[in-house]
Amino acid sequence: MSYQSIFKPGLFADQVIVITGGGSGIGRCTAHELAALGAHVVLIGRGQEALENTAAEIESDGGKASWHCCDIRDAEAVTERVTSLIASHGRIDGLFNNAGGQFPAPLEEISPNGFDAVLRTNLSGGFLMMREAYRQSMRSHGGAIVNMLADHWNGMPGMAHSGAARAGMANLTRTAAFEWAKSGVRVNAVAPGWVASSGLDKYEGAAAAMIPMLANAVPLKRLGTESEISAAVVFLLSPAAAFISGELMRIDGAASLGGRLWPLADHDNSQPYNGFHRAQAPEALKDD
């Protein structure tokens, strides 16, 4: 089997697209779809095994992929890694700033180190990757960047550190879209809601117990799929989005809309799209 993308074959032929956090979850899925559409995907992350496995999957499916370990929070390491990528591939056509991470905790219990660690991963690291991709390649050749957000529109109770970082990335996305338009660079962001991805398996305790109940809080009455997020990212990287820049795309089944007093009707009328031939249900949802 191969990835069942809705986009035309060869859409990204001969393009080099960098994906941070490309070894698992949404990053892995998006890497597979872009590779199936002809891109050479460059997977960036801290875990060698996950990156290596994803690259091997892509190559066994007939795609092109390479991987490199890099801590995107380290400015010097990011500069050196982007320099080596351009030396190997000539340019960077697209960047999906997907890497991130957080942990559930009440605001009053988050330590300064914990708060800083989440901001550095979800905001500072993305900034460093954007900056170097622009400075070293896109300023001269143009390109497209998609940043990762989350449903932070009404605050993020239980994850204030992540909410602060995502709000910062939203503003950074819009600022970069304005400043870098002169170079033919488009910058957008996607904001997934609750997605049936491997990231759900990282939560424990009360947070894990809530996972089977999440779909009931979504007007479409289900969680999203990795493929649904990937499709949005691919669209924003594609020529079809040539006049879209500075956009923050919500992909949450309308979960961020409405109010607490308006009841949600029970139904099963929303059918998921899943084009990812290697998709695996998270353990947290297997009994759901």
The token duo for 127 is 């900034």
Work out the angle at residue 43's Cα, subtended by the Cα atoms of residues 192 and 232, and round it to the nearest 5 degrees. 30
pLDDT of residue 255: 92
Name the pTM for this structure. Answer: 0.90
pLDDT in tens, 140-193: 999 999 999 998 998 888 889 999 999 999 999 999 999 999 999 999 999 999
pLDDT in tens, 1-21: 799 999 999 999 999 999 999
pLDDT at 267 over 80: yes
pLDDT at 261 over 70: no
* Helix boundaries (H) for the chain: 25-36, 48-60, 75-89, 112-119, 125-133, 139-141, 160-179, 205-210, 226-237
Cβ burial of 67 (10 Å; 0-12, 13-18, 19+) is buried
Ordered by start, the domain boundaries in the chain are 16-254+262-285
* Spatial contact of 46 and 71, defined as CB atoms under 8 Å apart: yes
What residues contact residue 183 under an 8 Å CB cut-off, 6+ apart? 134, 138, 139, 140, 142
Enumerate the β-bridge partners of residue 19. 43, 96
pLDDT band at 287 (very low <50, low <70, confident <90, very high): low
Q: Between 258 and 179, whose confidence is greater? A: 179
Q: Is 98 helix (H, G, I), strand (E, B) or coil?
A: coil
CATH code: domain 16-254+262-285 is 3.40.50.720
Q: Distances from the Cα of 199 to the Cαs of 63, 92, 169, 193, 286, in angstroms? A: 25, 27, 20, 12, 14
